[in-house]
Chain A
Amino acid sequence: MTLYIIGFVIAFLLVLASGLPVGFGLGFIAIGLLTLYTDPSTAVTTGVEKAYTALDSSILVAIPLFILAAQLISETGMGKRLFDAAKAFLWRRKSGLAVATIASSGVFSAMTGSSFVSASTMGLIAIPELRKAGYSDRMISAAITAGGSLGSVIPPSIVMIVYGYLTDESVGRLFMAGMIPGLILIVLYSVVLSYFVNRELADSPNDLSQSQGNTAVDTSAAAPAGLSKRTALKEAFWGLMAPAIILGGIYLGVFTASEAAAVAVIYCMFIGFFVYRTLDIKKLAEILMAAASVSAMVVMIVIGGAMLGHVVVYGRVPQQLLEVVISWDLSAGMLMLVINVMLFVLGMFLEVLALMYLTIPLLVPVIAHMGWDNIWFAVIMLINVNLALITPPLGGVLYVVAHIGSIPISTVIRGALIPIGVLLFVLLLVILFPAIATWLPSML
């Protein structure tokens, strides 16, 4: 059994490392494994039927809509206005700019649900400003990877929607479960980054001017001229209303997640066309094409993942794994440690949705056997997903930051160690104090 799982994981990693797109890789492995149980024709028929069944779900409708909302927020200039507002309010010392990046990423995440869109948008907006203020590339990387990683925990999160879909858990409750851990992350990221930035600025002010692309270092601690709080808040008001509508609507039971996403799309289009006037028909068409493209990528992973999930269940792998786990006779704490180490290691090598599709069907019986709260475990899983986004060698957000900031990947990885440390600390907090995750959903 253990050899079977090890062989399966190695084959899985090899196919994904071949450069075959992840969605197709998952489906290919699934059909390949199905042929171990049945003839090739039946394997393909079963696979395609599972693909159709996987898509025949109202939960998944929210995903393309949140992707579209994210693209709209990014392209209409809402993200830039949010950053400017955060900068106006949080610029006390130089480290305030890092805090502004985290805060605006948090708000941005509360509108989009995507870590990649959050990291790329905030990266494009914040990196030039951070450079101008004299931040080193390592600190820039720390700030943007930290901000980007918020997208999976702070609701609405695409990863949470997929978790709800895989475990039949209420997406609304999952969204609420991510709220407090998300806020803790924002506060801790801000505090820790401020400490490191201040220490770096104090220790080596001369070195800062050597940072890459840094031609005009502004060493004063005063806020940039013309950044009035009132103006910045006025400009960002419409952007700040978006998370209020989305989260308020879901929390008050006005919308389902899909409806909140659709309303967010229409709201962002309205703001883009009539308030900010940054949107026109041509740009909207481009945004729609880009969002459809990203949605197709996710849908292919959902299809491949569902096919693989079927094979795993068909082969009774979760039950066999459960039997193995029971035979180990581990304490709950030790089992939780083993699961988290496994998720952390797999997360280093797997794309996040692939990680979820591989591990959740395996872990669901273990969670039930241990009597763990599904919402609590969902948040533990999501923090691990966040870690997967920013841990080398395959953390997707790392490459986004390296690409956008023209920063060597080794420097980005060194910078990401700061948010990785914070995430591990928050993971420990959630494991030790489950109420951090379960209290808010219990109020629904």
Chain B
Amino acid sequence: MSHVVSKKNIIYRWINHSSDLGGAIAAFCLLALAVLISYDVCLRYFFGRATTWVQESSVYLCMAVGLLASAYALKTDSHFSVTLLVDRLGPSAQRKLKLLTNTVGFLYSLSFVLKGYEMAVFSYEMEDVSTGLMQFPLWISTGLIPVGGALLALQFLNKLYDAATANGDASSLSAEKN
């Protein structure tokens, strides 16, 4: 039994690490976004030149920030949710509602993985590129959807595990998280 629990813990931690990694890459993309746009502004006003790639790549970096950090935001409970009514429910009802909402979240994320993967494969096979001067391969940007969706789906599994094992005892849950 303890072997099973330990295995679950390894998976649980691995999923959390994957969310952290997604968050870290998103954070790097965010910094890159600020630096690249500022570089473009400087180039334009101080050297009278303009890049052809910063504006377009900034859109893709912005996508990466949102999609890759989403699982990390879920892990850190940063997604805005309305808990006014949920907070008034008893522990058992709260647990059941969390199981339901996290299942919905998991299925929603899974749809991003499946359909996003189809979109990315289609773009790759068709050698789709952006219409801008950069001609960016679109399988990379569309590929962010299944990757972000997969990270989210995994984190929703962790949330489901939290809800399933909570039994109204929050302390055991936070201890496990750490």
Residue ranges of A at the interface with B (Cβ–Cβ < 8 Å): 16-25, 27-28, 31, 44-45, 47-49, 51-52, 55-58, 60-61, 63-65, 68, 254-255, 258-259, 261-263, 265-266, 285, 288-289, 291-303, 351, 393-394, 396
Contact = CB atoms under 8 A, between A and B. Distances in A.
Contacts of B29: 292
Interface in B82-130: 82-86, 97-98, 100-101, 104-105, 108, 111-112, 114-116, 118-119
B78 A296 contact: yes
Contacts of A64: 30, 33, 62, 65-66
Contacts of B105: 20-21, 24
Contact of A51 (B36, B69, B145): B145
B38 A45 contact: no
Contacts of B37: 61, 65, 258-259, 261-263
Nearest to B41: A259
B66 A293 contact: no
A381 B20 CA distance: 37
A64 B82 CA distance: 22
Nearest to B62: A61
B63 interface: yes
A45 B41 CA distance: 38
A291 B119 contact: no
A395 to B, nearest CB: 11
Nearest to B55: A58
Interface in B51-96: 55, 58-59, 61-63, 65-70, 72-74, 76, 78-86
23 contacts: A21-B74, A24-B79, A24-B104, A24-B105, A52-B116, A56-B59, A57-B59, A61-B33, A63-B62, A64-B66, A65-B30, A259-B37, A266-B35, A288-B27, A289-B27, A292-B72, A292-B73, A293-B23, A295-B65, A296-B65, A297-B70, A297-B78, A396-B80
Contacts of B15: none
B117 to A, nearest CB: 10
A202 to B, nearest CB: 37
B108 A28 contact: yes
B142 interface: yes
B24 interface: yes
Contacts of A265: 34, 38
Contacts of B154: none
B108 to A, nearest CB: 5
A25 B83 CA distance: 13
Contacts of A19: 81-83, 85-86, 97-98, 101
Contact of B82 (A17, A296, A298, A301): A17
B47 interface: no
Interface residues of B, number: 59
B58 A47 contact: no
Given A61-B62, A263-B38, A394-B82, A292 B142 contact: no
Nearest to A23: B79
Contacts, number: 189
A61 B58 contact: yes
A296 B66 contact: yes
Contact of A289 (B24, B40, B83): B24
A17 to B, nearest CB: 5
A289 B98 contact: no
Contacts of A23: 79-80
A63 B61 CA distance: 12
A262 B41 contact: yes
B81 A298 contact: no
Sorted nearest first, the 9 A-B pairs with minimum C-beta distance are A299-B66, A262-B37, A21-B79, A288-B27, A296-B69, A48-B115, A292-B69, A265-B34, A19-B86
B73 A297 contact: yes
A43 to B, nearest CB: 9
Nearest to B115: A48
Contact of B108 (A24, A291, A394, A396): A24
A22 B84 contact: no
B72 A22 contact: no
Contacts of A263: 37-38, 41
Interface string B144-170: 010000000000000000000000000
Nearest to A40: B111
Contacts of B31: 288
B62 A296 contact: no
Nearest to B71: A296
Nearest to A67: B30
B112 A48 contact: yes
A393 B82 CA distance: 10
B70 A300 contact: yes
A285 B79 CA distance: 20
B142 A300 contact: no
Interface in B1-46: 23-24, 26-31, 33-38, 40-41, 45
Contacts of B33: 61, 64-65, 262
